[in-house]
Chain A
Amino acid sequence: MHLVDALAIMLLVAATTAFVLGERALARAEDLSAMYWLVVGIVSLQAAVQVARPGKAA
């Protein structure tokens, strides 16, 4: 396993944690906080996929 793969998995787990925090904030009716965590989750997911995507082979 490459280092970037491990980083991608960590970002995936971080995205899930952000989504969990967002759902919990949504349940407490803290909408601004919920939106913040959901955006963090989306960006983390996108970062995970982009980091893991390999460059073009020479």
Chain B
Amino acid sequence: MRPEGIFQRLSAMGAAAQASVPGAYAWAVTVAPAAWARGSPVVAKVAAVAALLALGGGIVGERAAGGKVRPFAMWGFVLCCALAWSAAPAALAPLRIDAPRGVAGMVGWALFAFAFAAPSLQGRREEERILDAPELSPRKTVARGDAAYLVLGSALATALQIIGWRVATAERALLIRFSALAAGIAIVGAAADLALVRHAPRARRSRTRRLRTGMVMLVVLGLLGLTGILFALRG
């Protein structure tokens, strides 16, 4: 009998257990520093501890009673974290959160949401196959370079998240975060488009045709550049 791999063991633990890892990470990065900051009230500390207990209760509850416990564990964790933040709002002021911690917290909460929403990880499936025939081979393989486009797009989108963490006003800090998020999504989408259009059938002399297609936007870009230069000279 083959020894169980890490995926089989994680799959057997359930989705709540898997989500508890990024959940604990997000808690450690964003909730614990706020709850145990100087001057934080006891309510914040109690709520932070209750959030951890909800996370642990999700693991135990899922093993005992199945998946129906997961929403209670998730909402218990999220609401306790929200209570901890509400009780210590000064610890969340934009000037007290540095960029690396902010980005780490965003990644932690995104991973937690993804892990809690998704079913538990599955391991190798050869043993579960119904047909004895060999696996079907794919008609197309993913072309080389597509991953590079997506990595470039993701890196550029991540670079946008570094800006604007030292803004004093909360409203403006939120505006910057929202606009950076929207711009990041647009950049990743454009990078995916650039990767996909490489596989479309190309006509001869397509370079001229493509340049002509994009000419309107290039002209608009040129006009914008000219406007910027004129404004800079006036200023």
Q: Which residues of A contact B (CB under 8 A)?
A: 2-5, 8-9, 12-13, 15-16, 19-20, 22-24, 26-27, 29, 36, 38-58
Cα A52 to Cα B180 in complex, Å, equals: 24
Check A56–B213 contact: CB distance below 8 A.
Answer: no
- B191, CB-defined interface residue at 8 Å: yes
B208 to chain A, nearest CB (A): 9
| Interface range, B side | 35 or more
Q: Which residues of B contact A (CB under 8 A)?
A: 152-153, 156-157, 159-160, 163-164, 166-167, 172, 175-176, 179-180, 183, 186-187, 190-191, 193-194, 197-198, 200-204, 206-207, 209-211, 213-214, 216-218, 220-221, 224-225, 227-228, 231
Residue B200 contacts which of A19, A36, A51, A54 (CB distance < 8 angstroms)?
Answer: A54
Cα A56 to Cα B200 in complex, Å, equals: 9
Check A54–B202 contact: CB distance below 8 A.
Answer: yes
B174 to chain A, nearest CB (A): 11
Check B214–A44 contact: CB distance below 8 A.
Answer: no
Cα A29 to Cα B214 in complex, Å, equals: 33
Task: Give chain B residues whose Cβ lies under 8 Å from the Cβ of A15.
Answer: 187, 190
Q: Closest A residue to B205 by CB, please name it.
A: A55
Give the residue among A3, A19, A58 with the most B Cβ atoms within 10 A: A19
Check A51–B179 contact: CB distance below 8 A.
Answer: no
Task: Give chain B residues whose Cβ lies under 8 Å from the Cβ of A8.
Answer: 194
B186 to chain A, nearest CB (A): 6
Task: Give chain B residues whose Cβ lies under 8 Å from the Cβ of A40.
Answer: 221, 224-225, 228
Cα A26 to Cα B202 in complex, Å, equals: 41
Residue B156 contacts which of A13, A27, A39, A50 (CB distance < 8 angstroms)?
Answer: A13
Task: Give chain B residues whose Cβ lies under 8 Å from the Cβ of A24.
Answer: 163-164
Check A29–B193 contact: CB distance below 8 A.
Answer: no
Residue B221 contacts which of A4, A44, A49, A56 (CB distance < 8 angstroms)?
Answer: A44
Cα A46 to Cα B204 in complex, Å, equals: 23
Task: Give chain A residues whose Cβ lies under 8 Å from the Cβ of B207.
Answer: 2-4
Cα A24 to Cα B187 in complex, Å, equals: 17
